[in-house]
Amino acid sequence: MKQLSPAARARYFRRQLVDRVMSGLCMLAAVIGLILLGLILWMLFSNGIGGLSLSVFTNSMAQPGAGGGLANAIVGSLIQVGLGAMIGAPLGMMVGIYLSEVGKESRFASVVRFVNDILLSAPSVLIGLFVYQIAVAPMGGFSGLAGALSLALIAMPIVARTTEDILRLVPQAYRDGAVALGSRENEVVRKVVVPAAFSGILTGVMLAVARIAGETAPLLFTSLGNTNWSTDLTQPMASLPIAIYRYAGSPYGEWVSLAWTGAMLITVGVLVLNILSRFSHAAVAGRMKG
């Protein structure tokens, strides 16, 4: 650097300094952000693990002091999430297949894609209010079925998006090969394209399940929650998120503790589903490229 004039050298050091300082600030942001988020998870586990016992899974919700658990809420969540996924996922898959294989860049497909992206991030509280108006009010009461329906409406756009994305990874040669063998359009899709990407599509379904499992707001308007054991789809049904919501705001220490435990259970479930889907997605994407 001998040839540099003092002014140029000063400028050089100033540029290096700016780079270091800004990079350092970004790193600081990353450290602060991740520590903060880690802190929340740690809080969740340290508060939740204490209340974890067998009775959480075997007993239904009860009055404080009566040794209640969350069994009815867990089962209610499983029913509603399962049913919601069973309604929402096939519909979402069909939308995804339409966008990737039939509609492609057509005008209608572009509109569907755009609207689907909007629904993907639409406030879930409004989905709940919507289902209340079209299902709960006309049927004259809150029900597990309405809860499942609202979850289905949230799952559908997620599955549609992930299905389209994964189908686009299927090499064109698969389709060309199937056509060359005399397959019809529906056979190409049903027997070649979709099977090739099926585990990837299931990944999307897993992600959707993870998302709807933690949804609270829509259930406030649809299945309402229930402190008793009930598997009747036409009656109000308990769910883990609603149980957490009601218990967290209660003045009883025992209920608050159960709320933390419930929140921990949901978070663990959601994270496990996300990690599983990540592995499966990596495997599928790798197979497509390799």
Partner 1 sequence: MTTPVAHRPLTAGRRLHIGDTAFRISLFAAGAVVIVVLLSILTIMFVGGKQAFDTFGLGFISGTEWNPVTQIYGALPAITGTLLTAVLALLIAWPIGFGIAFFLTETCPERLRGPLGVAVELLAAVPSIVYGMWGFFVLAPFMAEYVQPWLTATFLWIPPIPDTFYWFTAPPIGVGLITASLVLAIMILPFIAATTRDVLQSTPQLLKDGAYAMGATRWEALTGVVIPAVRGSLFGAVFLGLGRALGETMAVVFVIGNAIRMPDSLMAPSATIASVVANSFPEAEPGTLDLAVLLALGFILFVVSFGVLAIARVLLRQERMS
- Contacting partner 1 within 111-170 (CB under 8 A): 111-112, 114-119, 121-127, 129-130, 133-134, 137, 153, 156-157, 160
Q: Is residue 87 within 8 Å of 149, Cβ to Cβ?
A: yes
Choice from 58, 63, 186, 228 touching partner 1 (CB under 8 A):
186
Total number of residues that touch partner 1 (CB under 8 A): 90
Q: Is residue 124 within 8 Å of 56, Cβ to Cβ?
A: no
Pick out residues in 189-228 that bind partner 1 (CB under 8 A): 189-190, 210-211, 213-217, 220-221
Nearest distance in Å: CB 156, partner 1: 7
Nearest distance in Å: CB 114, partner 1: 6
Instruction: Determine the interface stretch with partner 1 among 70-78, 191-199, 229-237, 262-270 (rule: CB under 8 A).
Output: 262-270
Backbone angles phi, psi at 224, to 5 degrees: 65, -40
Choice from 9, 11, 104, 184 touching partner 1 (CB under 8 A):
184
Q: Binding string, 67-106, against partner 1, x = CB under 8 A? A: ------------------------x--xx-xxx-xxx---
Nearer to partner 1, 270 or 285 (CB): 270
Q: What share of the chain is helix, strand, coil (3-state, %, to 5)?
A: 80, 0, 20
Nearer to partner 1, 26 or 78 (CB): 26
Residues 6+ apart with CB under 8 A from 12: 1, 4
Sign for the pseudo-dihedral over CA of 104, 107, 108, 113: positive
Q: What is the largest CA-CA distance in the chain?
A: 86
Nearer to partner 1, 186 or 231 (CB): 186
Nearest distance in Å: CB 82, partner 1: 17
Nearest distance in Å: CB 181, partner 1: 11
Q: Classify 275 as helix, strand or coil.
A: helix
CA atoms within 13 A on the CB side of 68: 25
Cα separation, 277 vs 207, in Å, equals 7
Choice from 43, 49, 181, 283 touching partner 1 (CB under 8 A):
43
Nearest distance in Å: CB 177, partner 1: 12
What torsion, rounded to 10 degrees, do the Cα atoms 162, 164, 169, 173 define? 150
Pick out residues in 4-33 that bind partner 1 (CB under 8 A): 15-16, 18-19, 22-23, 25-30, 32-33
Nearest distance in Å: CB 90, partner 1: 9
Instruction: Determine the interface stretch with partner 1 among 53-61, 193-201, 228-236, 255-263 (rule: CB under 8 A).
Output: 255-263
Choice from 151, 259, 261, 284 touching partner 1 (CB under 8 A):
259
Q: Classify 168 as helix, strand or coil.
A: coil
Nearer to partner 1, 115 or 283 (CB): 115
Q: What is the DSSP string of 178-246?
A: HHHTT--HHHIIIIIIHHHTHHHHHHHHHHHHHHHHT--HHHHHHTB--SS----TTS-B--HHHHHHH
Verify binding: residue 252, partner 1, rule CB under 8 A. no
Q: Is residue 91 within 8 Å of 152, Cβ to Cβ?
A: yes
